[in-house]
Amino acid sequence: MKILLLGYGKMGKTIEKIALDKGHTIVGRIDVQNRTDMDKLTAGDVDVAIEFSSPESAYTNIKYCLEKGWPIVCGTTGWLEHRSEIEALCQEKGGAFFYASNYSIGVNLFFRLNRQLAKLMNGQGYTASMTEIHHIHKLDAPSGTAITLAEGISAEADAIKGWKLAPQESEGFVSITAERQGEVPGTHIIRYDSHVDSIEISHTAHNRQGFASGAVVSAEWLVGKKGVFGMDDLLSNLD
């Protein structure tokens, strides 16, 4: 499989190692300094692109790949105000687009656990809050994973209307505290509090391997397909 890497930071380099270990070929490593190198690639040079760049670059990168006819897997967060436009372009071009806020299989199981707990807690008199901790290089806050978790809670809890980033007033919302510390790959803690007790669930990533491996598996799965996909589609296929 011929892979184009869009974003060549720590995640891009980890994806590269995993892809090469699996026998794939890296046909390009595109970052801010050499973005014009993409113009040298023809449609047949790329089987799939994997995009882990920055919120500022993601929209342009995804649009470029869809217009070229390249399937694209994206894990960049912070650009989702353009998501409906990208999905419409994908359908218009008959392309393939795969987006997830987090590619770790463990995190996606955590998403399911989170929704199940929110359903059980619905109407029981608890307030929900969240803390997400990431490395100091992460540009967006809250994390895309935290937003996905909060959306899962609001989908199951009648009294929750969405999320607010602390310290904003958060009555009726999931309050998300975003912390940036050192090189932390990602920790998400969800807490339910009442006047009698508290319940807490958490997921802690120990390194980037789980995210990178999931992105490569998603790219392998996407090749040959048309449409807009996410981790639920992948996991359902693997069940």
3-state per-residue secondary structure call for 48-108 = EEEECCCHHHHHHHHHHHHHHCCCEEECCCCCHHHHHHHHHHHHHHCCEEEECCCCCHHHH
Query: Is 135 marked as binding a ligand?
Result: yes
Question: Exposed (0-12), middle (13-18) or buried (19+): which is 78, by Cβ within 10 Å?
Answer: middle
102 assigned to a ligand binding site: yes
CA neighbor of 178 nearest in space, from 216, 136, 121: 136
23 annotated as belonging to a binding site for a ligand = no
Residue with structure tokens 């699996």? 22
144 is in an annotated binding site: yes
Q: Which member of 24, 68, 134, 188 is catalytic?
A: 134
State the DSSP code for 157.
-
Q: Give strand pairing partners of 48.
A: 3
Residue 233, token pair as written in the block: 């589609």
How far is 61 from 52, CA to CA, in rounded Å?
10
Residue 145 annotated as lining a ligand binding site: yes
Establish whether 134 is a catalytic residue.
Answer: yes
Query: Is 75 annotated in some ligand binding site?
Result: yes
DSSP code of 196?
S
Quote the tokens at residue 45.
Answer: 């040079």
Of 209, 235, 223, the residue nearest 13 (C-alpha): 209
The answer to whether 43 is a known ligand-binding residue is: no
Question: In whole angstroms, how far apart are CA 113 and each of 12, 69, 97, 197?
Answer: 29, 36, 26, 20
Is 137 catalytic? The answer is: no
101 is in an annotated binding site: yes
The response to whether 103 counts as a known ligand-binding position is: yes
44 annotated to bind ligand: no
Catalytic residue, chosen from 2, 63, 138, 226, is 138
35 marked as part of a ligand binding site: yes
* Binding-site residues from annotation for (S)-2,3,4,5-tetrahydrodipicolinate: 135, 144-145
Known catalytic residues are: 134, 138
* Binding-site residues from annotation: 35, 75-77, 100-103, 135, 144-145
* Binding-site residues from annotation for NAD(+): 75-77, 100-103
* Binding-site residues from annotation for NADP(+): 35
